[in-house]
A and B are shown apart, each in its own frame.
Chain A
Amino acid sequence: MQPSTASDPTLRSHAGHLGTEGFQEHARQALQDAPLQQALQLLVTNFVPRRVAAMAALGNAEVLRTEARDIKERTMARLDEYLELFAMQAQRVGVQVHWAQDAAEARQIITGIAQDIGARVIVKGKSMATEEIHLNPHLEQHGYEVIETDLGEYIIQLAGETPSHIIAPAIHKTRQQIAALLHEQLGTPYTEVIPEMTQIARRALREQFLRADMGITGVNFAIAETGSIVLVTNEGNGRLSSTMPRVHVALMGMEKVIPRLADLAGMLKVLTNSATGQKISSYVTMLTGPQRAHDLDGPEALHVVILDNGRSAILRSANREALYCLRCGACLNVCPIYQNIGGHAYGWVYPGPIGAVLTPMFTGLDTAQHLPRASTLCGACREACPVKINIPHLLLNLRQQLVERHDVPWVERALFTLWAWIMQHPQLYKSAVALAALAQKPFAHQGWLSKLPAPFSGWTQSRDFKAVAARSFRQRWQETLQHERPVASSVAAREGISHE
C-alpha cells in the first residue's frame, strides 16, 4: 500500500509528482506513451459528449452558469465573513473547526486528531485538497495505514502513483493495465470485465471500511447559513468514509463556502452536469454536525479543517476568479493539450487548464512557468467551465507577471524588444520584410521553407513554414489596389448581391 515514492527523498518534495520544471520533457514522453494515448481517448469519446449533451438537456445551462458564477463572485467578495459564519454555525451543531494556514499546519492538525483518538486505520474519500497537502505520505510516515476508497484513487494508490485528473484520477490507465494491477496487488484472478473488477475492489474496500477508526474526506460545498458540509460522489465512498469510522475529518479549501442552503441546488446542478454529465451524482451527502443522541448512525466527532495554503494570496491577486473553481474537471476534458499529454505531465496536483493557473500560484511561478506558457489560449476551457472562469485571461495575467519578475529567457526579452522597435517604425518593418525575403531566397521552395534557424526551428520539425511573399500586401496596395475603386453603381451592385 505504501506509495513507491514515499521512500524516495528526491521525489518526496513533489510527493510523487513529476515536478513542473521538466514540463517539456514530460509532455514529450506522454505523447510517446501508447497506453496513455489510448486511455485518453475516453475524454473525447465519453466525458466531453456526455457533458455537452447534459448541459444542452438542462435547457437553461447558461442561466445556471451565470448564477453559479454570481454566487462565487459574491462569496469571494466577503469570504472572511462567510467563513466566520460557517465556522460559527458548524460549531453550533457540534463540529470542531480548525484553521490551517498552510499544508504543514493542515497535516499537523489531522495527524494530531488521529493521535488523540488513537487511530490506526484511516479510510479516505476522494479529496484533491488532501492531495494538495500531500497528506497520505505524511500519515504513512507517522505509522497510520491509509486506504483510498474512491475506486480511481484506490487504483492509483495500488500503483503507487498520483491522480492525473481531478475527478477521474486513474484516467491515464487502460482497462488492461488496471486488470493487471488488481491481479498483482490483490492476488485475485485476472479479469478485464469491468463489473468483476469493480466487485474485486468493492470486496477489498468493504473490509477496510469496517476496520477503519477514522475517515478523511474533502468538501465540495460548505454552507455558511447552516454549518453543513456537502460531499458529492458516485460510489458512496464519501458517505461510508464519513459515517462508518468513529471520527470524520473533512478538509476544505476555504473557497468552498457558499452563503445559503438555497444556493446549493444550482451549484450541484452545474457541478455534476459539468463533471460527468449527470443530472445529479449517485451520492450527495449533506452533513450537519456529528451523530446526535437520537441519531442511529454517524461519527462520534466531526472535524472540519479549513485550508488556506495560498488561497488568501490568490484572493487578493488579479487571478481571484481561479478560486471560483468547483473542481469538476470539465476544462481538462475539453483541453486539446490535456487531451494529448494527460495530467501527470503538468507535474503537480492540479492538471489541465485550471491547474496551469493554480499550480504556479501554489508552488511558485518561476518553477512552474511552462504551465501558463504552454497554452494556445484557445478558450475551450472557459466555454466548458460551469462558473465561466476566464482561464485564458488568467494565463495571460501569469505570463505578464513572469515578464515583470524577469523570469523569462533573455533571448525572448531581446527578441520582443527588437520586435517592438521594428513594429513602431514602418520603414524599418518594410526593410526587415524585404531583408527576410532576400535571406530566404536560397532556401525557399515553391513559397515554402522546410527548415528554420533557431530559435524558430521547432516549427519546421514537422511542418513547413510559409516563405515571405514575393510581393507583400503593402506592395500590392501601392502598385495596384489603391488605384482601384469601389463599383461605381454601388447601389445596383448591392441590389444584385443579395442577402439570402
Chain B
Amino acid sequence: MAEPAEQPRPARVALFVTCLGDVFYPEAGEATVRLLHRLGIAVDFPLGQTCCGQPAFNAGFHQPAKDVARRNLALFAGAEYIIVPSGSCAAMWRVFYPELFADDPVLGAQAEALAARTYELSAFLVNVVGIERLGAVFQGKVAYHASCHLLRELGVAEEPRRLITQVEGTELVPMDLAEQCCGFGGTFAVKYPEISDAMLQKKIASLKRAGADTLVSCDAGCLMHIAGRLRRQGETIRIMHLAELLNAGGAAQAQPSEP
C-alpha cells in the first residue's frame, strides 16, 4: 500500500524461515531464497535460528517466549532487512517483540529497531523492493486466503493479491470468506478442535464456492491446516505458499520475464 521506498533497492537480506517453514514447508523457504536471488538480492540464513517464540507468547508464557525471542534479537542484530515468509511470525517480530521487551530499556530498544527492519515477504516485495511482476508462470484459478495476523496485525491486505495478479496464466478468483479466519490459531486447533474444524469447514466451503483449483496464502500454519482437511476429505484443490507461486514456471529457471 505504501509507496515504494525511494532508497536504492536492498542488496542483501537475512531470512528468518520460521520453524513451521523449516520443518513442514521447506519448499516455501526455498522458493523465497530463489525469488530473492532472481531479484539480485543476496540472502543470509543465520543458522542459529529456530522459532520466533509465538507459540509460547500466545499461550501466555512470556518468559519462555522472551528467552527464545532474545536469541533472535542478537542473531539478526546486524541484518539490514529481515524477511519472514509468514504474516504470523512477522507480526511477532514487528508487533509483539517490542511489547514483550517493553519493560527492558536495552532489549526494548533493540526489539523496536529490529521490528522496523522486519518484513513479511509480500510486503517487502511490493513496498520495499517496489516490484509486483516477478515473471512467474502458473496455470490455475487461484484463491487467496488472507491470514489473520498478516491482514489485521500488519495491515497487509493488497500486496499478496497484487503479486498474484501479475503471475502469468493465473486467474485470481474472489473468495467470499477470504478474510475470515481458517480456525488454525496455533494450539487453538488442538485445544478446541471442534470449533476450529467448524471454522475450517466454512473456509473450505467458501473456497469451493470460489471455484478455485489452488489456494495461496502467506502462512504455513493456515496452509497446513486447510490442506489437512482437504486431504482428509479427499479434495484435489492444491495448496501453495505465495513464494512458491511467485517462483513457479518460467521463473524457476531464473529467467526474468520480458518487459
Contact = CB atoms under 8 A, between A and B. Distances in A.
B60 A500 contact: no
Given A378-B152, A463-B200, A486-B36, A420 B64 contact: yes
Contact of A423 (B42, B51, B58, B200): B51
Contact of A373 (B37, B166, B191): B191
A488 to B, nearest CB: 8
A402 B24 contact: no
Given A382-B152, A466-B228, A500-B166, A484 B34 contact: yes
Interface string B14-52: 000101011111100110011011111111010111110
A426 B75 CA distance: 12
A473 B47 contact: no
B192 A485 contact: no
Contact of A490 (B39, B45, B57, B134): B39
A459 B58 contact: no
Contacts of A474: 17, 22, 47
A442 interface: no
Interface in B240-259: 254, 256-259
A438 interface: no
- B60, B132, B193, B259 pick with most chain A CB within 10 angstroms: B60
A264 B238 CA distance: 52
B62 interface: yes
Interface stretch (A24-32, A223-231, A303-311): A24-32
Nearest to B225: A463
B225 A499 contact: no
A458 B190 contact: yes
B206 to A, nearest CB: 11
Contacts of B231: 448, 464
- A340, A382, A487, A497 pick with most chain B CB within 10 angstroms: A497
A408 B50 CA distance: 25
Contacts of B80: none
B131 A497 contact: yes
Contact of A469 (B24, B45, B197): B24
A484 B228 contact: no
B181 to A, nearest CB: 4
B23 A497 contact: no
Contacts of A450: 232
- A403, A408, A459, A491 pick with most chain B CB within 10 angstroms: A459
Contacts of A490: 39-41
A393 B98 CA distance: 13
B41 to A, nearest CB: 6
B216 interface: no
B133 A337 contact: no
Contacts of A216: none
A374 interface: yes
B117 interface: no
Contacts of B21: 473
Given A491-B40, A498-B259, A419 B188 contact: no
Given A416-B64, A463-B228, A484-B34, A399 B58 contact: yes
A424 B71 contact: yes
B134 A380 contact: no
B189 A459 contact: yes
A484 B190 CA distance: 39
B209 to A, nearest CB: 13
A500 B56 CA distance: 41
A393 B184 CA distance: 18
Interface in A460-500: 461-466, 468-469, 471-478, 481-482, 484-487, 490-500
B229 interface: yes
Nearest to A461: B193
B229 to A, nearest CB: 5
A403 B39 contact: no
Contacts of A340: 195, 198-199, 202
Contacts of A403: 59-62
A474 B51 CA distance: 13
A433 interface: yes
B22 A472 contact: yes
Contacts of A380: 148, 152, 180-181
Contacts of A487: 37-40, 254, 256
A487 B151 CA distance: 32
Contacts of A471: 26
Interface residues of A, number: 80
A376 interface: yes
A497 B168 CA distance: 13
A314 interface: no
Nearest to A420: B64
Contacts of A484: 33-34, 37
A56 to B, nearest CB: 15
A472 B231 CA distance: 22
B107 interface: no
B258 A496 contact: yes
A356 interface: no
A489 B105 CA distance: 44
A408 B183 contact: no
A497 B180 contact: no
A66 interface: no
Contacts of B49: 426
A235 interface: no
Interface string A356-393: 00000000000000000111111110110000000001
Contacts of A426: 47-50
A401 interface: yes
Contacts of A493: 38-40, 256
B55 interface: yes
A375 B229 contact: no
B208 interface: no
25 contacts: A336-B181, A336-B183, A336-B202, A340-B195, A340-B198, A340-B199, A378-B185, A380-B180, A396-B58, A399-B58, A458-B193, A459-B228, A463-B189, A473-B29, A473-B30, A474-B47, A476-B29, A476-B30, A481-B30, A481-B33, A481-B45, A486-B43, A493-B39, A497-B257, A499-B130
Given A382-B152, A466-B228, 5 more contacts: A28-B194, A422-B50, A487-B256, A494-B39, A498-B257
Interface of A: 24, 27-28, 31, 336-337, 340-341, 373-380, 382-383, 393, 396, 398-404, 408, 412-413, 416-417, 419-420, 422-424, 426, 429, 433, 436, 448, 450, 455-456, 458-459, 461-466, 468-469, 471-478, 481-482, 484-487, 490-500
Interface of B: 4, 9, 17, 19, 21-26, 29-30, 33-34, 36-43, 45, 47-51, 53, 55-65, 67-68, 71, 99, 130-135, 148-149, 151-153, 166, 180-181, 183-186, 188-200, 202, 224-225, 227-229, 231-232, 254, 256-259
